[in-house]
Structure 1
Amino acid sequence: MGIAKVYSFHMVLSYSRDPFCCFTTSQDLQTFFDCHRRAFAHFGGAPMTIVYDRTKTVVRRHVAPGEAVPLHPEAAGFAGHYDFDIDVLAAYRPTGKGRVERQVLIVRDHVLSGRAFSSIEEMDAAFTAWVPHRRAQIHKTHREVIGERAARDHAALRPLPPTPYLVAERHLRPVGRDCLVAFGGNLYSVPASKVRPRQLIEIRATKSQVMLHSTAPDTSGETLLAMHPRAVGRGARVVEEKHWDGLPTGKGRRTTTGDTPVLPRQGRPRGEESGPLQALLNRAAASRIEVGRRPLSVYDELTGTRPFTTRSQSKDTS
């Protein structure tokens, strides 16, 4: 196996320049917002506004300048849960996040440079050990000790909610005739009594779970149909046996009882076989039957009509 590619996530409090950094091997939606939760725990609260560039984990699609930016549904839900506003930078504004970009270089030069790490945890521990040294420095812009100014920054943060926000991938998938739903190269079961074939259901997938929801609530207002652990790899079938209750079992099909002997295919009488191929063979055999032939005058005598004949006339010129 090759060496995993490592990414760094950075968040900086704008007033004090108090930094946070963590390292990951993925840039997916769950990892992105999990890093937010780690940053909020590091600072002791959530800010009122977070500035983003036009990353696909925050912006659903790009629009023309001056138009409202459509946010990713999970980004909007996460921001609403932690009560902060999303400020998306305008296009072609590379200096809009200069304080964060500068922090990336500082971490690279003072935490990572000249060192070797064997795991992500070692890299996170190295940053945590460096933070007190950074907070003890006087920042060259606001001319104050970063840690002292960070204390005022932390006091202004919003308190964290009692429960974390569950970030999930959301997809629409059809239900198969066997009440299985395909997602991520694997199959997951839903109750046969609550769905119908080809019905669209919503999949909400986290790193560890796959939840299958109906697009319309039932009489009790519930949409959850099933919940399964997320399969590892591809080609797995995650099935709960009771979900198949109500599906046809095949017991009502017509079957042989053993009282009537079944002739082998090569021993059946000619003409009793069925199927498209045998129909063609029967037609070919019928074309070889000898048919009697008689002149048309016989039919004229039977009907009493004179036969239609043509006579050639010639003139003698001699």
Structure 2
Amino acid sequence: MIRPDKVEQIQLLRAQHPRWGNRRIAQELGLARNTVRDYLRGKEALVQSRPARRALDEATVALAVALLDGAAEGNGVVVRRLLAARGIDVALRTLERALQPYRQRARAAKSATVRFETLPGEQLQIDFGQRMVSIGGAPTRVFFFVAVLGFSRRIFVRASLSSRQEEWRAGLAGAFAHFGGLPRAVLIDNDGALVVGRDRETDTARIHPGFAAFCKDWGVAVRVCHPYRPRTKGKTESGVKYVKRNGIAGQDFASFAALTAWLPQWMALADGRIHGTTHERPHERFERAEKAALQPLPSIPPAHEPRVLKRTVAGDCCVDVETIRYTVPHRLVREHVEVVVGLEHIRVLHRGVEVARHRRSFTRHQIVRDPEHLRGLLRVDPPQPRPSGPGPLQTLGRSLDAYADAIGGAP
């Protein structure tokens, strides 16, 4: 069985080339010689007919959509199984064709967003981004806390070596101080350091108790954007990209301190540009409408809650914190200690007593030493090198004259 157009080609070649035999026509068209012979003798081309597609009635489609949104959780195979349990037998492909328009509408609704502008002082959006940065000639992974005021688009950036919850809290406290006031709410994403889970029944996020208490102490509410909808937090998403592509790209820093010193300069530049959405300079928009709308800072800022780590002192008299090693007194080698990580200092406690304190470093793989911790462990006077050649002949216990007397005098 061949298609009608092939039959027409066979007949056309015979009409154009009467002297061509069946073999030649078959070679030209890539067919068998017997096939050419049969169709030249008058065999008609067979048209393949397909059975009509089965269409589901409206009631079945409505039930399938309800199951897809409910118990099946979006899985078409599960929908088919649930329909079969109700006595409705339908092929999977038929079911998928029926559900396809609904799936397309659902995807479009999920992707569509409406730009939402917040009132002055209403919201601060925060997020973390990371990028490899050249520090001291070595590529270093640096995490950037980014906070953007929803109305004015003023930006705050803080660099760190991790994105643990303590860095979120430190960044947020720094943003409050930088802007000189408090927003009414902070919008966060579903980062594991901030959100511990989600209640499926109420579709609400369960905020980490430590972060919730921190925000309560500052007097700001916490709002969580919906999972897999980062565009609901688009201002800070754009801010993170702007920091990585504009503030850090192409920069080399002599030290982490140099990077930290550069960020305020860059923030001033960012706040002075014409913003692409508001068509205003963020700092002018802030001064005009948002500064007065912020809540005042507390007279005494809430205390920072440091992170406490359990460590065992290594043989080199050091404990490790974020790849950075800090010395402790050598007598504590192999002892268990607590390391209290603050914003500026590292404290080491042994049985509740502070045994070491260092200024916190942000240079990865560095060793921070206190010479007092190693006192008594190293030799004060280094050993003297031995002479390379033979020394002078040492005086023997007896002189040679004594041996001469013993054998009867000199010869």
Partner residue of 1:133 out of 269, 279, 301: 269
Distance 1:231 1:145, change over 3 A: closer
Matches within 5 A, 1:7-46: 7-46=143-182
Structure 2 distance, partners of 1:160, 1:92, is 33
Distance 1:117 1:210, change over 3 A: closer
CA drift of 1:23 comes to 0.9
Q: Which runs of 5+ in 2 are unaligned?
A: 1-137, 314-337, 359-366, 368-411
Q: Which runs of 5+ in 1 are unaligned?
A: 172-182, 188-202, 212-224, 234-318
Query: In the alignment, residue 311 of structure 2 is paired with which amino acid?
Result: G
CA drift of 1:75 comes to 0.8
Query: In the alignment, residue 106 of structure 1 is paired with which amino acid?
Result: Y
The match for 1:155 is: 292
Deviation track 1:130-180 (CA, whole Å, cap 9, x = no partner) reads 233322322222222322111122222122223333344789xxxxxxxxx
Structure 2 distance, partners of 1:47, 1:227, is 40
State whether residues 310 and 339 of structure 2, in contact with CA within 8 Å, keep that contact through their aligned partners in structure 1. no
The match for 1:92 is: 228
Deviation track 1:200-242 (CA, whole Å, cap 9, x = no partner) reads xxx996534689xxxxxxxxxxxxx967578899xxxxxxxxx
The match for 1:165 is: 302
Distance 1:30 1:116, change over 3 A: same
Distance 1:141 1:99, change over 3 A: same
Distance 1:65 1:101, change over 3 A: farther
Deviation track 1:182-213 (CA, whole Å, cap 9, x = no partner) reads x61359xxxxxxxxxxxxxxx996534689xx
The match for 1:61 is: 197
User: Which stretches of structure 1, 4 residues or longer, exceed 6 Å deviation after superposition?
Assistant: 229-233
Structure 1 distance, partners of 2:181, 2:295, is 5
Query: In the alignment, residue 224 of structure 2 is paired with which amino acid?
Result: V
Partner-residue secondary structure (3-state), 1:86? strand
Structure 2 distance, partners of 1:121, 1:85, is 33
Structure 2 distance, partners of 1:12, 1:73, is 24
Deviation track 1:221-277 (CA, whole Å, cap 9, x = no partner) reads xxxx967578899xxxxxxxxxxxxxxxxxxxxxxxxxxxxxxxxxxxxxxxxxxxx
Relative contact order, CA 8 A, sep 6+: which one is greater? Answer: 1
The match for 2:238 is: 102
The match for 2:252 is: 116
Structure 2 distance, partners of 1:113, 1:205, is 34
Partner-residue secondary structure (3-state), 2:244? helix
* TM-score for the superposition, normalised by structure 2: 0.42
Q: Which has the higher helix share?
A: 2
- Aligned pair 1:185/2:321, yes or no? no
State whether residues 168 and 206 of structure 1, in contact with CA within 8 Å, keep that contact through their aligned partners in structure 2. no
Distance 1:158 1:229, change over 3 A: farther
Partner-residue secondary structure (3-state), 1:96? helix
State whether residues 230 and 237 of structure 2, in contact with CA within 8 Å, keep that contact through their aligned partners in structure 1. no
Query: In the alignment, residue 63 of structure 1 is paired with which amino acid?
Result: D
Structure 1 distance, partners of 2:356, 2:233, is 36
Structure 1 distance, partners of 2:197, 2:357, is 30
Distance 1:115 1:149, change over 3 A: same
Distance 1:38 1:92, change over 3 A: same
Equivalenced residue count is 195
CA drift of 1:26 comes to 1.9
Query: In the alignment, residue 92 of structure 1 is paired with which amino acid?
Result: Y
Distance 1:170 1:125, change over 3 A: closer
State whether residues 65 and 90 of structure 1, in contact with CA within 8 Å, keep that contact through their aligned partners in structure 2. no
Query: In the alignment, residue 185 of structure 1 is paired with which amino acid?
Result: R
Distance 1:170 1:116, change over 3 A: closer
Identity %: 26
Partner-residue secondary structure (3-state), 2:166? helix
Partner-residue secondary structure (3-state), 1:40? helix
Structure 1 distance, partners of 2:355, 2:224, is 35
Partner-residue secondary structure (3-state), 1:9? strand
Structure 2 distance, partners of 1:3, 1:108, is 15
Q: CA RMSD in A?
A: 3.2
